[in-house]
Amino acid sequence: MAFTAALLGLVLAGCSPRVAAPTETYSSLATVPEKLGADGTTITVGNAHAPVTVHLYEDPRCPYCEEFETTGGGPELRDAIMRGQVKAEYTLASFLDDKLGGSGSKKAVNALRAALAEGRFAEYHEVLYANQPEESEDGFTADRLLELAVQVEGLRGRTFESAVRDMKYETFVKASEKAYESVGDTPHKGPGTPTAVINRVRIPADYSGVLYDATAFSNLLQLIRRSPEEWEGYVFPEDPAAPSLS
């Protein structure tokens, strides 16, 4: 299949396909549209008409999510969002609290939902991952989350502070965790974080290295823009010896 060769070649070699110019751009994350989906849990960031959709499943305490968001594909994703080429969807999990103890994930998810209510989700999401505590530490306390909110212009105010301290969006936190668990292969267990589904195709765990390589991830997004129908029909090789996207 020609697309298979193109996919592996472009991602591994670092070549970038030429694509059409976007029709809508944004000057910063502060100007990017964001909204809560009709399902009540999916948070969408970016141009609603973007040809590529990256759906991410993340837990705020997950160090692999932090790696993706800070040094992996995350910055490339944000750039593509601001160019109007891609929109991101987020399902926020909090299972690490039960695994490690504490409530930092739940508090962070609640705070992110409160930031969405203020139109500042994307900016605050970036700040939280840039300042993520060690996974073993329950570092996302209400005080810490409010302290970090100062880095987002216009976010910290009485409404946001009350929502963070009172866990206003606790129902959302629980529903979002259930939405994460519902897409796992095992009942009541999600697929792991971060998991990325791009234009309805999930990146398998064996190929997750592409999420942590900024150039490879950027090239993959561009390739999907160029050949969306072939991407949606793409089947990842099952042979573990096959070339990896990473």
Task: Give the pLDDT of residue 4.
Answer: 53
Query: Is the pTM here over 0.85, yes or no?
Result: yes
The more confidently predicted of residues 236 and 153 is 153
Distance separating alpha carbons of residues 20 and 226, to the nearest angstrom: 9
**5, pLDDT greater than 70:** no
The more confidently predicted of residues 174 and 240 is 174
CA 31 to the chain's CA centroid? 18
- Identify the DSSP state of 207: G
Pair 199, 223: CB distance under 8 Å: no
The more confidently predicted of residues 109 and 5 is 109
**15, pLDDT greater than 90:** no
Distance separating alpha carbons of residues 91 and 179, to the nearest angstrom: 7
217 Cβ contact list (under 8 Å, min separation 6): 72, 73, 76, 77, 210, 211
Q: Which of 131, 68, 153 is nearest to 145 (CA)?
A: 131
Pair 42, 243: CB distance under 8 Å: no
Task: Give the pLDDT of residue 6.
Answer: 53
**215, pLDDT greater than 80:** yes
- Kindly report, residue by residue over 134-191, the tens digit of the pLDDT: 999 999 999 999 999 999 999 999 999 999 999 999 999 999 999 999 999 888 899 9
Task: Give the pLDDT of residue 129.
Answer: 98
Mean confidence (pLDDT) of the chain: 90
- Give the number of other CB atoms < 10 A from CB of residue 135: 17
Question: Three-state SS for 99?
Answer: helix
